Structure 1
């Protein structure tokens, strides 16, 4: 007979990172908080989505994980998707109520993050789900200003309402 699992020694976030929805589901069934955070303040959902783990992201959202649960810097899982460029995970989060206009601790919105890091298609996805391109950061810059400042003319065209070539 094997020794029982000590819940204090289980790395739940590594399970989410690996995408083992079946194992994580057992722990959730046993009462694990779907919004559990690691020592750095990252939620299970943030780790699963950032690791592009569809079944685990689905499981956590179905079990009530907060789609806008921010890390200590105020970055939400959707901001992580804007950084990583995972449109399928972004769609999951948006469908579960993630705020496309959320701001991080620096005052940047999800769209501003996508303007810096994302693709034109990802920016369009956010706009299609209600991201407000008119919002400004603490320096008074819009996502369009940020895209142009970063030399992201492909993204700037989408933000200006002109389809990017090939979009």
Structure 2
């Protein structure tokens, strides 16, 4: 009996020592993935650029609608209404269309010195070589009236400076013959000479620009022409 108890006690002690030696298993380290290692958000995918459609061209006009639009454009030009002229050009108005007395929006604006309207017509493709009912370019009446800035615009646009109208006059001859020889006329003659105008082109009476300026007593214009001859 005593031997039996001793054997049980030895067996229990062995079990206790085995449990203490083994211990609890250590936790395994878990490698973190790139997705869990960083908390920064992923960049959003690039969006394709948004294409803005080009504005649609104005609808095609019938012949009757075009004629009406062109009449309105000439009337707006004669009223020196630049905003209305711009709108009518935008709708398809033709700056070279003529009315009953052969005025176009371009020719009238040039003759009268309506410079804002004139610039709009030039930007819209005005024919700078076109002529009025007197066979003259826009530069000729502009020079006659002494519209200095208008003359500058027309020369820069390429209007021929030596064109002769149906009366036999150039822009320079009209600047002298049909005005008072004052400061604006002097400046117009200077601009024409600088642009290559020929003062020796004669009028129907056979007079040059110099002879006409001397005959009319425009001494400053005469002196200017002599200095450029």
Return the alpha-carbon distance in structure 2 between the equivalents of residues 14 and 31 of structure 1: 15
Structure 1 equivalent of residue 68 of structure 2: 8
Counterpart-to-counterpart distance in 2, 1:18 and 1:67: 21
- Higher relative contact order structure (alpha carbons within 8 Å, sequence separation ≥ 6): 1
What TM-score results when the alignment is normalised by the length of structure 2? Answer: 0.63
The answer for the alignment partner of 2:224 in structure 1 is: 158
Cα distance between partner residues in 2 of 1:132 and 1:153: 19
- 2:158 is paired with a residue whose SS is coil
Counterpart for residue 131 of structure 1:
197
Unaligned runs of 5+ in 2: 1-64
Runs of 4 or more off by more than 6 Å in structure 1?
A: none
Say yes or no: does 1:33 pair with 2:94: yes
1:46 maps to which residue? 107
| Structure 2 CA distance for aligned equivalents of residues 35 and 86 of structure 1 | 21
- 1:8-46 deviation line (CA, Å, top 9, x unaligned): 285422311232222222222222221111211122112
1:91 and 2:136 aligned: no
Q: 2:189·2:221 contact (CA, 8 Å) conserved in 1?
A: yes
- Based on CA coordinates, which of the two structures has the bigger radius of gyration? 2
For residues 121 and 149 of structure 2, the distance between their equivalents in structure 1, rounded to whole angstroms, comes to 15
- Cα deviation, 1:57-98, whole Å, max 9, x if unaligned, reads 101011111223211211221111111111101111111001
Distance 1:112 1:70 in 2: 17
| Alignment equivalent of 2:82, drawn from 21, 24, 41 | 21
RMSD of Structure 2 on Structure 1 (CA) = 2.0
1:21 and 1:56 in contact (8 A); partners too: yes
Q: May I ask how many residue pairs the two structures share in their alignment?
A: 157
Provide the residue aligned with 1:3 in structure 2. Answer: none
Question: Any idea what the Cα deviations from partners look like across 1:116-139, whole Å, max 9, x if unmatched?
Answer: 225211110110111011222233
Q: Equivalent of 1:121, from 177, 180, 187?
A: 187
Any conservation in 2 of the 1:68–1:78 contact (CA below 8 Å)?
Answer: no
* Match in the other structure for 1:101: 162
